[in-house]
């Protein structure tokens, strides 16, 4: 499956963005999906995970409750809503899918567990 992320941009702190990730060339509805982000000079960081059905959205405890992952399988699209954006949210946001479901929460965090990646969309938050 090929993934393409979009929806990033330059926003002021306090604003909102909805990122999208559209799939092609594959059965999107069969894949669990996730979002990662990467700030300049930092490692890629896990942001959210969602099951193929849209159930069980999962976020790391360290992440504030400003992020919402969702999906529309009829549109082959994954979303990430980010509210009350902060400068520390700046980075490239990637969507990703594992070839097979990840069963343990700890596995969600590892970028190496994901086989398919979008090209990333840049989010820049100004203070």
Query: What phi and psi, each to the nearest 5 degrees, are found at residue 31?
Result: -105, 135
Q: Which residues in 14-105 belong to E strands, given as ranges?
A: 17-24, 33-38, 45-50, 67-72, 77-82, 91-97
In angstroms, what CA-CA distances link 113 with 42, 57, 100, 102, 124? 19, 18, 9, 8, 27
What does pLDDT average to over the chain? Answer: 95
CB-CB contact of 57 with 50 (8 Å): yes
* Owner of token pair 């965090």: 109
Rounded to an integer, what distance in angstroms lies between the CA atom of residue 118 and that of residue 80?
14
Q: What is the pLDDT of residue 32?
A: 96
Mean pLDDT calculated for residue range 28-47: 95
CB-CB contact of 19 with 37 (8 Å): no
Q: Render pLDDT for 53-104 as a digit per residue (tens, 0 to 9).
A: 999 999 999 888 999 999 999 999 999 999 999 999 999 999 999 999 999 9
Query: What is the token pair recorded at 82?
Result: 């980010």
Q: Render pLDDT for 42-54 as a digit per residue (tens, 0 to 9).
A: 999 999 999 999 9
């Amino acid at each position: 499956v090929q993934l393409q992320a979009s929806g990033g941009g330059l926003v002021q702190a306090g604003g909102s963005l909805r990122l999208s990730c559209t799939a092609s060339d594959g059965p999107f509805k069969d894949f669990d999906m996730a979002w990662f982000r990467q700030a300049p000079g930092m490692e890629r960081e896990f942001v959210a995970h969602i099951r193929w059905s849209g159930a069980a959205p999962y976020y790391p405890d360290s992440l504030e409750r400003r992020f919402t992952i969702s999906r529309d399988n009829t549109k082959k699209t994954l979303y990430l809503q980010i509210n009350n954006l902060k400068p520390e949210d700046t980075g490239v946001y990637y969507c990703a899918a594992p070839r097979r479901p990840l069963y343990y929460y700890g596995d969600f965090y590892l970028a190496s567990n994901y086989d398919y990646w979008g090209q990333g969309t840049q989010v820049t938050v100004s203070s």
